[in-house]
Amino acid sequence: MRSRRSVLAVPGSNPRFLEKAQTLPVDEVFLDLEDSVAPLAKEEARGNIVAALREGDWSGKTRVVRVNDLTTQWTYRDVIEIVEGAGAYLDCLMLPKVQDPTEVVWLDTLLTQIEKTMGYEVGRIGIEAQIENARGLVNADAIAGSSERLETLVFGPADFMASINMRTLVVGEQPPGYVEGDAYHYILMRLLMAARMHDLQVIDGPYLQIKDVEGFRRVAQRAAALGFDGKWVLHPSQVDAANEVFSPSQEDYDHAELILEAYEYYTTVEKRGAVMLGDEMIDEASRKMALVVAAKGRAAGLGRTKRFTP
């Protein structure tokens, strides 16, 4: 799986932002043709994005383009022009406001046709499905299993909050009057279960109060604690917080690697299935949990500071 701790949104209509995004230490950049681009600027934005993908330096970043949703007149031209113009430089397309699995199937089919026409490897370009309303959440299981290309489910909080009439104007914060628990817990867990059922990643949406970095960190920690893989960032000030929150600590990473080393040694050399690592008993379940933390640490570029000695 790709590392997606920080997912930067960049308007395709702003060449300066497209250039700046290449310099930021984010895991993924999605170049946007949807909400951040005015209707009259969408055609020009396609050209900007193709040029940025072909000519820019996106080293170390997953390159994604968010097309318009299928209720609009722009979507099919978005896909055709972006993939024909820069498909070799593209990792995924993000489809917003997905409500039904047939929408992902439509995008999969169109991508296959373009790949065959252009001579690209069929199936290489992935799909990210953004869930932004009640119907999409109810259909999350079917959406998550709708295509072999699907890599992530993405929560779109602003449109979702509007779709269920949530009584707040602050995206990501608790609605006034909701004094116990977390109003977003069910939504996040529902997406998490659908994603994991099909071995997908799951990404939390944006926090719009871009000057409130501590607020961003607090909301990101909620998603990370549940098991989310990353979160959108809208401003450079949010990048470091996202990368930190969605990376394991050095202590946890070292511990995970020690568990993997110790379990490998004891099960293969001494042929035991449950053993002690210091004061901790480890077994097959421990190995599975350690694999998750170790994978996230490796993706984040962490290095080992401890080694296992039998």
State pLDDT tens for residues 101-113. Answer: 999 999 999 999 9
Other CB atoms closer than 10 Å to residue 23's CB: what's the count?
9
Residues 154, 279 within the same domain = no
- Beta 6-11 vs 126-131: how paired, if at all? unpaired
Q: What is the Cα–Cα distance from 33 to 43, expressed in whole angstroms?
A: 9
pLDDT at residue number 84: 98
Residue 246 pLDDT more than 80? yes
**Residue 308 forms part of a structural domain:** no
Of 291, 201, 287, 297, nearest in space to 248 by CA:
297
**Residue 179 forms part of a structural domain:** yes
The number of folded domains in the chain is 2
Model pLDDT for residues 280-308, shown as the tens digit of each residue: 999 999 999 999 999 989 988 889 999 98
Known binding site: residues? Answer: 66, 132, 159
* Per-residue b or e along 199-224, where b marks 16 or more CB atoms closer than 10 Å to that residue's CB: ebbbbbbbbbbeebeebbbebbebbb
pLDDT at residue number 115: 98
Q: What is the Cα–Cα distance from 73 to 103, expressed in whole angstroms?
A: 14
Model pLDDT for residues 64-106, shown as the tens digit of each residue: 999 999 999 999 999 999 999 999 999 999 999 999 999 999 9
Q: What is the Cα–Cα distance from 264 to 241, expressed in whole angstroms?
A: 34
Known binding site for substrate: residues? Answer: 66, 132
Residues 220, 279 within the same domain = no
Compute the residue count for the chain.
Answer: 310
Which domain does 293 fall in, by range? 250-300
Known binding site for Mg(2+): residues? Answer: 132, 159
- The pLDDT confidence band at residue 168, using thresholds 50, 70 and 90, is confident
State the CATH number of the domain containing residue 227. Answer: 3.20.20.60
Helices first, then strands: H and E counts in the chain: 12, 10
